[in-house]
């Protein structure tokens, strides 16, 4: 099949569309359903090494005359990067809704435990979807616990009853209901029970051994301590905190401010240089 014949709907068929296990994909990669750019590069190197080399077929769903990619976004990108015009395909025999579930099942089967946040976010997206996915369908498509899906559906119902806006991110929704959840020992975050217990234990030890973070300076000191403690994992820690607290908008605004400050600084330097040349 020719690459240009395919239609992409990553927000539907790329279950790791909101992945947070790595640096957030840029806008172009998100549009093409690419989560891990390095993986695309590795696959393209394999294709370029020998013209006869091929990757596993991508999965395509035919709807009328249109052909939608349902699995294999990174492979498709690798073929493009390798300047290949044709790509092997495997046709999906079911319905569009079945294709969504299968894409999630296949992808999350190989996703590492550290990517649990992406699984739970995908589950929340499906709970909010107007399609009306059943609990069993969401569990199959995301591999999260059935209890987690039940909690999400209850949270959605509670927010609707209150007449409140429903957050797009699951951590933000949980934060809205946090006062009610403080006394709910059965509430879970979507993580395995042993991980939750470990997190609770670490939290107690931090509260016992660290002074209250009652000013910005102490917060900075803790951040620096974490960086020195585990420089290799500092980025993972930062991304998890951004995800759990729903800080993506704030991060984007901060990045925009940094870029604007940089542009202003360059303009000032250029002006000063020209002014000096005149003299």
pLDDT mean for each 10 residues of the chain (279 residues): 84 70 66 82 90 91 92 91 90 91 78 65 89 88 86 91 89 77 45 76 86 84 90 82 67 73 69 54
The predicted structure's pLDDT at residue 22: 45
Helix (H) or strand (E) holding 59: strand 58-63
| Tokens encoding 123 | 């589950």
Angle at 242 between CA 239 and CA 248, to 5 degrees: 115
Q: From CA 254, how far away is CA 103, in angstroms rounded?
A: 34
- How much is the pLDDT for 128? 92
**For residue 147, with 0-12 CB atoms within 10 Å meaning exposed, 13-18 middle and 19 or more buried, which class applies?**
middle
Alpha-carbon distances, residue 72 vs 8, 22, 104, 109, 197 (angstroms): 11, 19, 12, 14, 36
> Can you give the pLDDT at residue 23?
55
| pLDDT tens digits, 161-196 | 999 899 988 888 888 887 555 444 344 455 566 777
Tokens for 237, please give them: 């820690």
Q: Do residues 190 and 116 touch, judged by C-beta distance below 8 A?
A: yes
The DSSP secondary-structure symbol of 163 reads T
The confidence score (pLDDT) of residue 114 equals 42
Rounded to 5 degrees, what angle do the CA atoms 85, 89, 92 make? 145
pTM: 0.54
CB 10 within 8 A of CB 32: yes
The 8-class DSSP code of residue 177 comes to: T
Residues in the chain, overall count? 279
């Amino acid at each position: 099949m020719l690459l240009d014949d395919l239609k992409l709907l990553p927000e539907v068929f790329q279950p790791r569309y909101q992945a947070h296990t790595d640096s957030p994909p840029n806008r172009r990669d998100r549009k093409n359903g690419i989560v891990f750019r390095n993986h695309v590069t590795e696959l393209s190197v394999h294709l370029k090494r020998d013209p006869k080399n091929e990757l596993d077929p991508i999965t395509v769903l035919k709807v009328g005359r249109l052909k939608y990619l349902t699995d294999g976004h990174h492979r498709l990108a690798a073929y493009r990067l390798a300047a290949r015009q044709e790509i092997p395909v495997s046709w999906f025999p079911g319905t569009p809704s079945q294709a969504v579930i299968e894409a999630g099942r296949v992808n999350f089967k190989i996703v590492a435990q550290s990517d649990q946040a992406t699984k739970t976010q995908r589950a929340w997206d499906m709970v909010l979807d107007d399609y009306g996915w059943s609990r069993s369908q969401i569990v199959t498509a995301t591999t999260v616990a059935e209890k987690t899906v039940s909690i999400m559906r209850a949270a959605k119902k509670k927010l609707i009853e209150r007449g409140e806006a429903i957050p797009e991110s699951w951590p933000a929704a949980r934060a809205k209901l946090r006062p009610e959840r403080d006394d709910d020992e059965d509430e879970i975050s979507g993580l395995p029970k042993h991980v939750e217990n470990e997190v609770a234990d670490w939290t107690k030890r931090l509260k016992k051994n660290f002074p209250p973070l009652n000013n910005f300076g102490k917060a900075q000191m803790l951040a620096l301590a974490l960086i020195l403690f585990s420089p290799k994992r500092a980025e993972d820690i930062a991304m998890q905190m951004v995800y759990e607290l729903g800080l993506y908008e704030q991060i984007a605004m901060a990045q925009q401010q940094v870029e604007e400050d940089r542009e202003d600084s360059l303009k000032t330097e250029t002006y000063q240089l020209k002014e000096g040349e005149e003299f």
